[in-house]
Structure 1
């Protein structure tokens, strides 16, 4: 059944066992790598730099700075820093600060 039809005709409710509610280790690793990678990209400022691509489009430096004000550039870099911190915390969750965490068994 499609997801759209599930909204109007939801499937029967079922109880999840404890094993199904646990985190999976590959999901945690991918989540951590994605957050660290994208956070590094945003925090570095490369997402909001004046480049040759902008020059070819005819955007001047003054126009670029008007379109991307300082508060916006600082916000992007702060979000990147937050993602970086989140990635490190998420990646170290099971082996540094929450050693009793249980994961789903890989089958």
Structure 2
């Protein structure tokens, strides 16, 4: 068996993937849905931008903390969190609420 690191420098020849290798799987769908909903909720909640004891111990004042996390940055990450939640809902409902007969998936 060849090392994964060696595959970067000496890649295997290209080949066509079968539909079995590229179809959606339930564990993949569940994991992407859970990650999107969880991380999106974390970003949308504003938890990454709370001034806490950790910053106080490092000697960072509340004013300096606000400068390190400007409003445009907080807003853009919250927007990304909302987008991840929407993506998670779409991804989680795909296959059983809509797009049931998608090519490459198990037909219901």
Give the whole-Å Cα distance in 1 for the aligned partners of 2:88 and 2:75.
20
**Larger helix fraction of residues:** 1
> Which consecutive unaligned segments of at least 5 residues does structure 2 have?
none
Alignment of 1:1-107 (within 5 A): 1-101=2-102, 102-103=105-106
The CA RMSD measured in Å over matched residues stands at 1.5
The normalised TM-score by structure 2 is: 0.85
Residue 92 (structure 1) shift? 0.7
Number of equivalences: 103
Q: Secondary structure at the match of 2:80?
A: helix
The structure with higher relative contact order (CA 8 Å, sep 6+) is 1
The normalised TM-score by structure 1 is: 0.86
> Which consecutive unaligned segments of at least 5 residues does structure 1 have?
none
